[in-house]
Structures are given as structure tokens and as C-alpha cells.
Structure 1
Amino acid sequence: MSEETIPVRSGEDFDRDRLLRYLLQNLEGLPKGPLEVRQFPSGASNLTYLIRIGDWEAVLRRPPLGPLPPKAHDMAREATLLEKLHPVYPLAPRPYLLCSDTEVLGSTFYVMERRRGVVLDRDFPAGVHVTETLCRCISEMMVETLTHLHALDWRGAGLESFGRPQGFLERQVKGWIRRYEKAKTDDIPHVDPLIRWLTDHIPVSPEPTIIHNDFKLNNLLLDPEDLSVPVAVVDWEMTTVGDPLLDLAVSLSYWMNADDPEELRGILPSVTQHPGFISKEQLLERYAVQSGRDLSAIHFYMTFAYFKMAVIIQQIYARWKKGQTQDPRFASFGERVRGLIRYTSEYAQAKRI
């Protein structure tokens, strides 16, 4: 079906006949024929599938298997958000159908339009002519795409119910600390001092905006003919109304340059290590100019973004350690968490980007 997809991983399939019946009953204009299913291999959170009937195709999103943190992986919220966001931010894919009947797949899921594009993760796809100019243009596109999102009139789009901006940053810090404690599997000496530092250094947030909350290069689909042109932004599960500088910091925490510490690059290998991708400092400068926001407190946001990343990896590792997923990619996540927590603890005291 697609080189972007793989056969459905063991333990992550579902009753395809039941899904086909549901789709035919609830979506108009579907062709007749068998349902084909493939899985998108990237991502380590929600499960995402390419589904096809004849010439019709779409993307299906469902939560991961096993017990989940409260309010996490809320497919109904994600689908409703996209329904409101798509008309004002066309890079957000259009949802087709939300299913809350857990008898169909065993969980709530939704189906949305399929956008065709290239995902850049650890490296460029084979056949791409990589130049420093291309890498610089992709860098600039990232800043512009994020700045555009933060400039949206979220009230006018009817997104008031998708966040509580008052006290947002403090709740985020406390909430991600709780998530770490709940998902904890091993003792890591650096955790307690880092948690104290985060709690003691929370800055005052700027005016709230709509934020993606997981904005990074591999959550963009890029035009195969010009990789500096975005086709879609995906994975909107954590989107909310909140502090735009946290969104910026999360994006930067995944942006690895060749001169970043080897320990960090090993945890987060990224295509952005190629020559031509601009530095974190340059990204910050462009964002400050385009958004007009004060970035004097960005060191806190970066520290918190690295901690948040460690918690996400820890939650995935905890599910793997408990046998709730057999995905072999997750076996090494325990060491990744340990290294990232150590790095973040040192970074908190370093006063640098």
C-alpha cells in the first residue's frame, strides 16, 4: 500500500471485518471492496493506521494498548479539536468520523483524511539531494509554521474549552512530576534535585495561545517535491490553550545539532544534525522576531521540556516493562530515561540553551 507504512505489528491489530461494517454504515460514498490495513511505524504513543477500501483511503487513530494515564490519549478530544482547528489552520487534517463505541475496536477511535507527505526523522529519505540551503529552508519553515499556529485567534475558532490558561505552567510542572512518579520503575539519583529546581523556578507566562504541545519536525508531513513546504501537522493529542514558550521549548528539545553533547544526540538522533540546519539560538532569534515575545525565561522552559520528554519515554518504558506492549523499540528506553534525566539535571544549573 505504501512505503511509509508497515504490516500491522503483532498484538496491535483489530477486527477488520467489524471496522469495515462500521465504516460502511457511518461514512457516505465509500466504495465496495475489502478493507486493507497498514500501520504507520513512527511514533511511540497513539497507534496510527492507514486504511483503504478500493481507491478510498484514510488514517485511523486509536490509543495504545494497556492501562493509560487519566485524560491521556483522548481520541474524542483530539477529533473535536481538529474539527474546529482545520478551518482556520489548514495544516491540521480534517476529521471524518469519531467512534465512541468501544465494541468496534476495543477503544474510542477516529478516522481522518490522509495527507501524503515526507516525514523527516533520523535522516533524509533515499534519493533526496541534501544541501545546506535545503536544511536552512526547512529550519526557517519550522519557525514560521509554529509562529503561525501561535498567532491564531483561538477564541474566534471556538477553542476556549480546550484549555485553562490561568495557572497553566504551574499545573504542567506539577502534573508531569506526578506522571513521572506514577510511571517510575527505577531509582535515578538526579530526579529529586531536578524536580525541586523545576518547582522553584516557574516563571510568569506570556499571553496564552493555542499550542500543539508536541511540535517537532517528525510531526510534520512535507511536500515530496519541496521538503521546505509543509503539507500537514499531525499528532494533536496534547494540544491545548496555554503557554506558547513551552511549545517552542518542546520543539527545540528535539532539535539536535551536530555540536550538541553526544549523550543527548544518542538519546535523540535527528536529521537536524546535518550541516545547514540552524542552531537552537538562531531558531530562538527568528521566533522572537516573528512573534514579538520575550524569551528571557527560555532556560526554564528548555529544562522543563527535557524533563517532560524524559517522562514521556518513561511512561512508554513502564508499559513495555509490564508487558503491556511487545514493541522491541522500547526495550532500551530505560537507559534513555536515565541519560536524559542526568543531562537535564546538569542543564538546569548551566544557564545556557
Structure 2
Amino acid sequence: MFARSALVDAVERVVSTTVTVVDPIRDGKNHSYRVAGVDGDEFFLKVGTRFPDAFPAEPAAVDLVRARTDVPLPTVRGTGRDPLGVPYAVFDYVPGVDADGVASLPDRAARRLCREAGEHLAAIHRIRFDAVGGLGVVDGAVAVTRERDYRTLLGASLERQVEDLRGSRFADVCDRVAEAGAALVDDLDLSGVSPALVHGDYRLDNLRVDPTADRVTVAVVDWELPSTADPLWDAVMALALLTEGHDLSPTRRRTLRAAFRDGYEHDGSETESAGAFPTDAADRLLAYELLARARLMRHLDAELPEASERVRDARAREHRALLDDLLDGHRRLTGE
């Protein structure tokens, strides 16, 4: 889509370097490139082709988190629009080790990763806003520019998840999930929700890791469409994405979940706690766990792209059993 000369020009406009290498990165839904300068420095060029109007909020949110927390993020070297005609950002390139999943990491590294995830999200969730919605840049500052009604937002998320499941092997449970989920969302007590910055997709694919380092997480990446929401939702979703892999034993899952929660609730900060897993929010916790389970079910085939049908069937049975537990929890919550 973009000529090499234009990409080189874009980088050199915001970074003091002479570009020698521009390699496209195939992963992701935007146009992105690994760039090297004549002095050996490496950069990551991301072009906001997917959501150009919203894209400037991404590097701005990264700068905000870097300024307000100790969460490891790549440095934003600069942003621009010309000569590409769409907004772009240049970050320092952060290398990492490819890992097939949390289960592929050594036990110590997996525990550290999950504890760090809890610590990082606790810090991110201390960045509060006055409304739920999408973030933008107003007069140079990050602000909520697309305010949303949170209950409506949750309901729409549930509907999307269920609709995607209808074409899968879980089509037979969709009506139950839709009915229970809608009832949960309608009855949620949202009075305790204090909108915070959320990552929204904190999973291994969006991390740069070094399993041999004391701090396993080298960088938290992919801040596309930054937004605010209930921090409990973000924590529950991350917990599921990191600790519910098909190749993790029940014992290892419990260990990793405990590490995450310990990091989230005791991150060592002297400031106010992010309010991890409040004891008076059973309804929100259940609703978010249901949404997380639906997401995992929806991605079963992507999680096991080369697995045998026997392995996929076993994973589907596990999802169904855990879903039944959640639906039983809804019945207990409502006294039905």
C-alpha cells in the first residue's frame, strides 16, 4: 500500500536516523513495519490504516501510561501523518521471545508473567476518568471523546459474542448464554464502577517477554482503540486469557491465577489499591466471567489450529462444564 520511499520519509521525519531496512510485519490488522537505522537502532512503525481517526489516541495513551506508571512500554519516538496521508507512530522496537502459550513457559517464568500482569493492570487501572468510552486527544491531553453507556456497552458485547458462537459447535448453548447474560447485564449494580483506563486485550500475544529475565514482561504492546471501562472487567478478561489455556493443568491454572491476583491486589504501590475483585461485586464478576468464557469458546479453533478432533472435542467439553458452573452461579445469585 505504501512505497518504501514514503515509509522511509515518514520515519526520518520524526526520528533522527537514516533508515536502511524496512521490513513489513505480517501480524496485525494495521500496516506495520520493523525498521532499522544506519546506526543499528531498530524501530516499529505502525500506520493507522484501520481506524485513522482514532489512531492518534494510541501513542498518546502509551505516553500517558509511561508517564504515570512503571509498566514497561515501548518509547514513542514520534508521530505524524505526511507523507503517508494517514496517521502513524514510530516506537522503539522491543524484541522478545516467541512463546506458543503461557503453558510453554517454564513454571517460574509463567508465575512471574502472571504476577506482573496483575501488577501492571493494577497500575494502569489507577489512571481514572470521569466516564466510560473511547479515548481521544483533546488539546494535547488524553480524554474520553466517545462516551458510552456502560450497561449498553456490555449488552452489545454479549450479543456479539453470542452471535459469533451461533455458527460454531456451541450453537446449542447460545440461547442459554444470551438469556442468562442479558438478565445479568440488566440487573447489574454499576454504582461502584469507577471508570479507568483499560488495556482490553492483555494476553501473551500482546506482550514482549524474556523468560530468563527477572522481570519476564519486557513490554506491553498493542494499545489500539484505548478506552475506559470497569477495571474489574479488564482484570477478569486478562485472567482468563492468561490462565485458561487448554494445555494448562488444573493445578497450574490455580497457581497462575493466584499469582495474578496477588500481583493485582498487592502490587507494592503506596497509592490507593485498584480495588481488585471487590467482595461486594459478585454480579459484575459473574457477568465478566461469562463474557470471558464466551470469548474463549469463540476462539476454540484458533486456539487449536492443528489439533485433532479428539483434542478439540475435549476442550469443548471443558468449556461446556465451566459454562454450566457459571450458569449455575447465575441461578444461585438470582435465587431461582
Q: Assess same fold via TM > 0.5.
A: yes
Say if 1:18 and 1:134 are closer, same or farther in 2 by CA, change over 3 A: closer
Distance 2:250 2:88 in 1: 36
| 1:50 corresponding residue in structure 2 | 34
Unaligned segments of structure 1, at least 5 residues: 1-12, 258-264, 318-328
Equivalent in 47, 58, 61 of residue 46 of structure 2: 61
| 1:4 corresponding residue in structure 2 | none
Distance 1:239 1:309 in 2: 22
What number of residue pairs does the alignment pair up?
Answer: 297
| 1:349 corresponding residue in structure 2 | 327
Say if 1:344 and 1:239 are closer, same or farther in 2 by CA, change over 3 A: farther
Distance 1:221 1:116 in 2: 7
Q: CA deviation at 1:242?
A: 1.5
Q: CA deviation at 1:236?
A: 1.1
Check whether the contact 1:216–1:250 (CA below 8 A) recurs between aligned residues.
Answer: no
Q: What letter matches 1:146 in structure 2?
A: L
| 1:82 corresponding residue in structure 2 | 62
Say if 1:137 and 1:284 are closer, same or farther in 2 by CA, change over 3 A: closer
Distance 1:276 1:183 in 2: 27
Unaligned segments of structure 2, at least 5 residues: 131-139, 268-272, 331-336
Check whether the contact 1:191–1:345 (CA below 8 A) recurs between aligned residues.
Answer: no
Q: Is 1:301 matched with 2:288?
A: yes
Equivalent in 243, 252, 257 of residue 280 of structure 1: 257
Per-residue CA deviations over 1:73-121 (Å, capped at 9, x if unaligned) read 94232123223333223523232343446x838x644322222334544
Q: Percent identity?
A: 17
Distance 1:146 1:189 in 2: 35
The 5 A counterparts of 1:101-116 are: 104=84, 108-116=87-95
Check whether the contact 2:166–2:174 (CA below 8 A) recurs between aligned residues.
Answer: no
Q: CA deviation at 1:310?
A: 5.5
Q: CA deviation at 1:224?
A: 5.9
Say if 1:22 and 1:221 are closer, same or farther in 2 by CA, change over 3 A: closer
Check whether the contact 1:135–1:274 (CA below 8 A) recurs between aligned residues.
Answer: no
Q: Is 1:235 matched with 2:254?
A: no
Equivalent in 196, 205, 208 of residue 179 of structure 2: 196
Equivalent in 199, 207, 211 of residue 198 of structure 2: 211
Root-mean-square deviation (CA, aligned residues, Å) is 4.4
Equivalent in 54, 59, 73 of residue 92 of structure 1: 73
Q: CA deviation at 1:19?
A: 1.3
The 5 A counterparts of 1:66-215 are: 74-90=54-70, 91-100=72-81, 104=84, 108-118=87-97, 120-122=99-101, 130=106, 132-152=107-127, 158-161=141-144, 164=147, 167-168=149-150, 170-177=151-158, 179-180=160-161, 186=167, 188-202=171-185, 203-205=188-190, 206-215=193-202
Q: CA deviation at 1:147?
A: 1.3
Say if 1:255 and 1:83 are closer, same or farther in 2 by CA, change over 3 A: closer
| 2:133 corresponding residue in structure 1 | none
Check whether the contact 1:210–1:241 (CA below 8 A) recurs between aligned residues.
Answer: yes
Distance 1:344 1:61 in 2: 38
| 2:334 corresponding residue in structure 1 | none
Q: What letter matches 1:16 in structure 2?
A: R
Distance 1:112 1:186 in 2: 39
Q: Structure 1 stretches (4+) deviating beyond 6 angstroms?
A: 181-185
Say if 1:256 and 1:194 are closer, same or farther in 2 by CA, change over 3 A: same
| 2:23 corresponding residue in structure 1 | 37
Distance 2:84 2:325 in 1: 47
Distance 1:238 1:82 in 2: 11
| 2:270 corresponding residue in structure 1 | none
Say if 1:185 and 1:117 are closer, same or farther in 2 by CA, change over 3 A: same
Say if 1:221 and 1:40 are closer, same or farther in 2 by CA, change over 3 A: farther
Say if 1:306 and 1:15 are closer, same or farther in 2 by CA, change over 3 A: farther
Distance 1:345 1:124 in 2: 22
- Secondary structure of the structure 2 residue equivalent to 1:49: strand
Q: Is 1:15 matched with 2:3?
A: yes
